[in-house]
Structure 1
Amino acid sequence: MSQPHSDLLLDRMMRLHPKVIDLVMDRVLRLLDALDRPQDRLPPVIHIAGTNGKGSTQAMIRAGIEGAGKTAHAYTSPHLVRFHERIRLAGTVIGEDALAALLDECLAANGPDAITYFEITTCAALLAFARTHADFTLLEVGLGGRLDATNVVDRPALTVITPVSMDHEGYLGSDIRMIAAEKAGILKRGVPCIVARQSDPALEVIEARAERLGAPLLVHGQHWHVGTERDRLVYQDETGLLDLPLPALPGAHQIDNAGTALAALRHLALGETAAEAAMTDVHWPARMQRLRHGPLVDAAPNAELWLDGGHNPAAGTALATHLATLPPRPLHLVCGMLNTKDVAGYMTPLAAHAEGLTAIAIPGEANTLPADRTAAAARAAGMTATTADNAVAAVQQIAAATPKARILICGSLYLAGNVLRDNG
């Protein structure tokens, strides 16, 4: 079977600039000008930045918009199985023919000039959104905010900042204030911003920039509140109280993400139908996703298999908090990580809950941490650790020793994507 045309084009795009990440705006603005500035013709934009929870929050907002009978474009990254997942046109993942035509057009407009893969594919997404009717556009920041390729809309309808924590320090800065300043770079003069739960230093930076720009803030704990009561989600702001089902995405951290999404939907005045749909209709793979079929499940028929793509210390803490709430079962981790991540920071909160870790390399990733180094990091964090050649072998090893284990495959969205593709 021949390789899809879009895959061939994406391979070409990977070779246009030697750096995978290069945070400047010149190249993306040049190409957008050549494409007649599609960013100026988008449906009302909701721009989302943050370290953790961007994807889940965007997915809840999208579910709410669609539950209210409206349509939304959505741009997110990275993808899990196929690039097409990154671009949703009015609720539908972009088709192969449409994507290939857009990529061809962007390559032709860019010519021989250097541009990163993320920049040129973001331009393709914006071009698609400008040409297709929808009621809203949801743009998820790729990295940071201030210099991200998505930060090209002069007047979004709303901005959102999910929790800010340490990640990508080599690009965004070595302390939480510097990272928060990069995230706060999506704030626009006079445009309201929904702000999720933040550390005090991060919130101070966001508030200071908002004051300089005259950007109204709607801040967790000040302007809106969210929590749980008797297995229900309770949200309250100056408009009133919402009593809703718990979000379909599992994990205590999803309660805060749900509150952020609800604050955005309330600002958009989409009503209680949207609020309930945001909780019940949301789907976002590889966020504490239960695997119920496929070769991995067949390899451990009596085990409980889960998949999560979190990869930084805050994600490790959120996972550990959720795992502590589950019915008792021996927990074993199958972990693969990139060598750019804070591996110790991710593993330390999980060590208290796991009986062991089986380390694997991430297939096809040049920046994967070798399995033996992942295992060494796990031992340093206090876990018993071994290695395996791949996820299936790791699951088989665990199931042979502990048939009724709870097995969590974790450590990277790139690993999660490989698992979802290979597991069907």
Structure 2
Amino acid sequence: MTSSFPSADTAEADREIAGLMERHPKGFDLGLERIRRLLHALGDPQTRLPPVIHVAGTNGKGSTVSFMRAILEAEGLAAHVHTSPHLVRWHERYRLGRRGKPGQLVDDAVLAEAIRRARAANGEEAVTVFEMLSAVAFLLFAEHPADAALVEVGLGGRLDATNVVDHPAATVVTAISLDHQPYLGDRVELIAAEKAGIFKVGSPVVIGPQTEAAALDVLRDRAARTRAPVKVYGEDFLAYAERGRLVYQDDAGLLDLTLPRLPGRHQIGNAATAIAALRAAGFQPAGGAIARGLTNAQWPGRLQRITTGPLFETLPAGSELWLDGGHNPGAGAVIAEALAEMEDRAPRPLHLVCGMLSTKEPVGFFRHFQGMARDVRCVPIPTSDAALSPETLALAAREAGLRAEAAPGVAEALARIATGLREGEAPPRVLVCGSLYLAGDVLRDSDLAPR
């Protein structure tokens, strides 16, 4: 992801990570041999962790982790959290739990020292930056007491650097769709098989909502081979909205809960998966803690409403500015569904501002907005050298049936939307979308870096 922007409280770790990126390969090189060697040199910290819940999936991983973290914290427990990529600062990948208090992003000096230790243990051996930083997560989590460690897979699952915990308390797979095909395969069955690679013999498996029957079949089959108890959304547990509340049901009965704070109908399934995963892992949070967790959960850059900062102020009074880093067709589907719900409640013209990497599938993403979005302004992503040009992205949007044009940046795109309003119509609803890199840029420019 992007490197952290320089600041007084993040400079030391940033310098350490910049050094790693100069010395070691960039990009993906999946495999477990290097990370296991490095962890062994560090004393195998992955064997000294609090109960681990390991989460894979194409979409919904981060939201599910955020719900689990918020519920555990509402129960007064300490939950370490490792997610990737980050949006603005590298430190976002490491949240250290504290009993009776919300967890905190790792202190800069603590992170820098852990990186130095990992670098020294590695010596001159080949290793990827993600493997090094995953080893840092295990080192931090082993040395700071907590009640749980919530670990999100980086890419795939089977060969991901996080897949070194032999006895997780539970493993979870959220929604699967096409993404990262060069590494994981070009069919959902192949991708599902890679995600299911995190399943371990005897460790409970929780399968979240799946729209692809072929993916679900693969997950069931792989789970059966591990001889592990399996919970499947829609069969063993489910949730639905009723009269402004969330009803959760499993074999223990019904829970009447608040609706999730995170917007979008898809978050009901993610919240249910989080509850099922915690229970499968042996945690029994009270109903009140679950309700507070659903209310308190935050996951920046995913249908996040921006209400301050210079970008927001570019738009006319009364406008809505939303941000989502989703970048594959599956993400496009759930984002479009959430925006359709907003439209039903409060109609207003929808405009998209989009930037996307060249490794993604823009036409499949854009098709979900056909008939909804008035137009798309396609922009570059300054913090990535792998972004599609605005002109190429606009061609893809037109292929998907949308009006599109290139713009030099997000600020300029928002200014064009502001000046192009039709007389007498409602202030616009604008979604900046298509890339976590772009989402990070917007949060940085809005002074809304995750904390």
TM range (shorter): over 0.9
- Which residue type is aligned with residue 218 of structure 1? K
C-alpha deviation, 1:15, in angstroms: 2.9
Cα distance in structure 2, aligned partners of 1:311 and 1:278: 27
Q: For 2:31, what is the secondary structure of its paired residue?
A: coil
The number of residue pairs the alignment matches comes to 424
Q: Does 1:211 align with 2:234?
A: no
Measured against aligned partners, the alpha-carbon deviations of 1:371-398 in whole angstroms (never above 9, x if no partner) come to 1111111111111111211111111111
Match of 2:207 in 1: 195
* Structure 1 runs not aligned, ≥5 long: none
Match of 1:314 in 2: 330
Measured against aligned partners, the alpha-carbon deviations of 1:200-232 in whole angstroms (never above 9, x if no partner) come to 211111111111110111101111111111111
Q: Does 1:300 align with 2:323?
A: no
C-alpha deviation, 1:19, in angstroms: 4.2
Match of 1:13 in 2: 20
Match of 1:410 in 2: 433
- Structure 1 segment 20-419 matched on structure 2, within 5 A: 20-90=27-97, 91-198=103-210, 199-267=212-280, 268-302=283-317, 303-326=319-342, 327-402=346-421, 404-419=427-442
Q: For 1:137, what is the secondary structure of its paired residue?
A: strand
Cα distance in structure 1, aligned partners of 2:194 and 2:17: 28
Cα distance in structure 2, aligned partners of 1:229 and 1:270: 22
Cα distance in structure 2, aligned partners of 1:217 and 1:132: 31
Cα distance in structure 2, aligned partners of 1:393 and 1:195: 42
Cα distance in structure 2, aligned partners of 1:352 and 1:108: 56
Q: For 1:13, what is the secondary structure of its paired residue?
A: helix
Q: For 1:325, what is the secondary structure of its paired residue?
A: helix
Measured against aligned partners, the alpha-carbon deviations of 1:127-173 in whole angstroms (never above 9, x if no partner) come to 00000000000000000000000000000111111011111010001
Say whether the 8 Å CA contact 2:25–2:129 is kept in structure 1. Answer: no
Cα distance in structure 2, aligned partners of 1:16 and 1:307: 34
Structure 1 segments of 4+ aligned residues over 4 angstroms from their partners: none
Q: For 2:54, what is the secondary structure of its paired residue?
A: strand
Say whether the 8 Å CA contact 1:16–1:114 is kept in structure 2. Answer: no
Cα distance in structure 2, aligned partners of 1:32 and 1:368: 34
- Which residue type is aligned with residue 315 of structure 1? A
Measured against aligned partners, the alpha-carbon deviations of 1:257-286 in whole angstroms (never above 9, x if no partner) come to 111011123332122133112211101111
Say whether the 8 Å CA contact 1:16–1:115 is kept in structure 2. Answer: no
Cα distance in structure 1, aligned partners of 2:377 and 2:335: 17
Measured against aligned partners, the alpha-carbon deviations of 1:48-100 in whole angstroms (never above 9, x if no partner) come to 00000000000000000000110000000011110001001111100111011
Match of 2:446 in 1: 423
Q: For 2:23, what is the secondary structure of its paired residue?
A: coil
Relative to the length of structure 1, the TM-score reads 0.98
Relative to the length of structure 2, the TM-score reads 0.92
Cα distance in structure 1, aligned partners of 2:289 and 2:61: 19
- Which residue type is aligned with residue 288 of structure 2? T
Say whether the 8 Å CA contact 1:74–1:87 is kept in structure 2. Answer: yes
- Which residue type is aligned with residue 395 of structure 2? A
* Structure 2 runs not aligned, ≥5 long: 1-6, 98-102
Say whether the 8 Å CA contact 1:16–1:113 is kept in structure 2. Answer: no
- Which residue type is aligned with residue 287 of structure 1? R
CA RMSD of aligned residues (A): 1.2
Say whether the 8 Å CA contact 1:265–1:275 is kept in structure 2. Answer: no
Cα distance in structure 1, aligned partners of 2:127 and 2:437: 23
Cα distance in structure 2, aligned partners of 1:363 and 1:11: 18
Cα distance in structure 2, aligned partners of 1:56 and 1:402: 34
- The percent identity for this pair of structures is 50
Q: For 1:225, what is the secondary structure of its paired residue?
A: strand
Cα distance in structure 2, aligned partners of 1:318 and 1:271: 30
